[in-house]
Amino acid sequence: MSADAVSLPGLAWHENGQSSLSGSLLRLERAVDRIFLSWAGTWSAEEYRFPTFIAARDLARLDYFHSFPHLVTFPIVLDPDDENLRRFTTGEPLADDGSVRLAATSPIRDVLTPAACYHFYAHFCGQAFAAPQYLTTRNTCFRREAYYAPLRRQWGFSMREIVCIGSAAEVEAFLETTRERVADFFGRIGLPIAWAHATDPFFNPTRNPKYVAQRLEPVKTEMVFGDDLAIGSVNFHRSYMGEAFSMRRGDEEAYSGCVAFGLERWLYAITSHFGPEPGAWPDLGVSDP
Amino acid sequence: MNTEGSFKKELRDWIVVRNQKIAPEDFDDDTPLIQERIITSLQVLDLVLFLEELTGSAVDVEQLKPGAFRSVNVICASFGPGGQRGG
């Protein structure tokens, strides 16, 4: 059974690649997030709430701007110089096509969060851990795309992540156990999901060594609904974050991994497979708050 | 033309020159190169270019299979004299 996402009760679609939720669809979104939190709870994961922006300097440690320039979204402000602001206000700030006629802008030092877990590595930069860290956070993430589709591909979307920073063995055990838990859940509610190796969406991938390395040694496994919709992923960073942010676990560089869920895509998968009526949705096994 | 032995030696020499923390005796021909960080993820594209230079033919990275650079022996089996190419 499939549903046209645009006509889903409780969904208002915005042509700028974002959606508003209300009613039963918003309640489903909250229930889905409670499932994620229950999985985080099995690791006694500490929950964090991070801001919308992340420092460009932090993303540069990940070589983000070379790897994903096509995805990045910057917050931009006008140069506060009085003359510059006067110039902006005395013209017509908005063009007929809806674009803003900017005056001079201030230097950009921040990025709208592209992945929820990046904040953890910046937050724990330089730290040495005596025990594995289990963490969870949720953020609105922003990725510029060539096109947008309701719930499936959005400029702004919600991402919940469960993260482990620890030794290689600790991170691998975390990823495997969490993956089994998620797979069991899909089986229990009857949502058809295929697990598939994937690579990150690098710019100019064949000239990017990280893309080639991901092809050779897969570190990303996606939960794929339908033909090609990844509603989540299991990611083994090896020591990449540990090195980039000088994190240590015992005497070694810290390893890390994350399990990431795209909430809007979960809504798409559930309403597409079970139908738009809440009565047809499966019991997700989480109680109302 | 490279013999299998000289191909392997050139490959091992390239790895040691690239990773100055590694001595030739630190890894054998079956050591997992990327997993053990003998080759870092940032060096794999350089390794592709080196293999192209060594073999005189282009490597299509979109055709590389998981594990194609797993060890010196695996690389030699795929890209060395008589290899299958592309892993």
Identify the burial level of A160 via C-beta atoms within 10 angstroms of its C-beta, where 0-12 means exposed, 13-18 middle and 19 or more buried: buried
What's the whole-model pTM score? Answer: 0.90
Q: Read off the CATH number of the domain in which A275 is found.
A: 3.30.930.10
Q: Which of B41, B48, B69 to mutate to test the interface with A (most CBs of A within 10 A)?
A: B41
Does residue A156 sit within a domain?
A: yes
Q: Give CA–CA dist A271/A4, Å, rounded.
A: 9
So what's the pLDDT on residue B85? 58
pLDDT tens digits along A23-75: 999 999 999 999 999 999 999 999 999 999 999 999 999 999 999 999 999 99
Range from A99-113, A216-230, A269-283, B15-29 carrying the lowest mean pLDDT: B15-29
B31, B34, B39, B45: best mutation site toward chain A, by most A Cβ within 10 Å?
Answer: B45
Q: Which of A171, A206, A212 to mutate to test the interface with B (most CBs of B within 10 A)?
A: A212
* Mean pLDDT rounded to a whole number for chain A: 95
Single-letter amino acid code for the residue at B81: P
Q: Evaluate whether residue A24 is within a structural domain.
A: yes
Domain assignment present for A254: yes
Q: Is the pLDDT of residue B82 over 80?
A: no
Of residues B6 and A152, more confidence is placed in A152
Residues of A within 8 A of B52 (CB-CB) are none
- The confidence score (pLDDT) of residue A192 equals 98
- Report yes or no on A67 lying in a domain: no
Where exactly are the structural domains of chain B? 4-20+28-79
Q: State the amino acid at position A188 in one-letter form.
A: R
Residue A33 resides in a domain? yes
Q: Look at residue A2 in the predicted model and tell me its pLDDT.
A: 45
Contact status, residue A278 vs residue A267, Cβ threshold 8 Å: no
Numbered residues of chain A with Cβ closer than 8 Å to any chain B Cβ:
197, 206-218, 238-240
Say if A94 falls within a structural domain: no
- What gap in Å lies between CA B9 and CA B72, rounded to an integer? 10
For residue A215, give the chain B residue with the closest CA. B66
Tokens of B5: 């032995």
Span B31-43, pLDDT tens digits: 999 888 899 888 9
Closest Cβ–Cβ partner in B41, B65, B70 for A213: B41
Helices A23-42/A263-274 angle, 10° precision:
120
Return the DSSP state at A103. Answer: -
The CATH number of B4-20+28-79 is: 1.10.1200.10
The answer to whether the Cβ–Cβ distance between A197 and B66 falls below 8 Å is yes
d(CA A156, CA A148): 10
The residues near B76 (Cβ < 8 Å, ≥ 6 apart) are B4, B7, B8, B11, B29, B83
With left for phi above 0 and alpha for psi between -120 and 50, is residue A285 left, alpha or beta? left
Please count the structural domains in chain A.
1
Domain of A23 in residue numbering reads as 5-52+114-280
Contact between A134 and A43 under an 8 Å Cβ cutoff? The reply is yes
| Amino acid of residue B29 | D
Give contacts of B64 with chain A, Cβ < 8 Å.
212, 215-216
